[in-house]
Amino acid sequence: METLIIAGACIITVFLGFWLHLRWSIQFISEQFQLLDSKIAEALTKTIENLPIGDIEPVNPVQMMIMQLIQDNMAKNPAKVIPKDEKGLFTAVEPE
């Protein structure tokens, strides 16, 4: 009977040790993830602050007009798919 009690106590002690170790490991990993998250956020903030975004000059009105003309022409003449032959070469297409 004494041996059974000692064996039971040893088994309970081993499982309690595993449980405590697992709990401490989970807590440590959680803290490290929070630390990593804050370091990543800080690095991203510093990177974005150091980007030369403010040095871009505004769009010129002439550029805007040319862009609008190009967009209008693209809308009028959509892209066409040109078929290929068996060799993979483009074939001549009759204008419509």
Q: What is the pLDDT along the chain (96 residues), one digit of tens a residue?
A: 899 999 999 999 999 999 999 999 999 999 999 999 999 999 999 988 887 776 777 889 999 999 999 999 888 887 778 888 888 888 887 766
Q: List the domain boundaries for the chain.
A: 2-76
CA distances from 17 to 11, 22, 24, 63 (A): 10, 8, 11, 72
Task: Let me know if 11 is exposed, middle or buried by CB neighbors in 10 A (0-12, 13-18, 19+).
Answer: exposed
Q: Model-level pTM greater than 0.75?
A: no
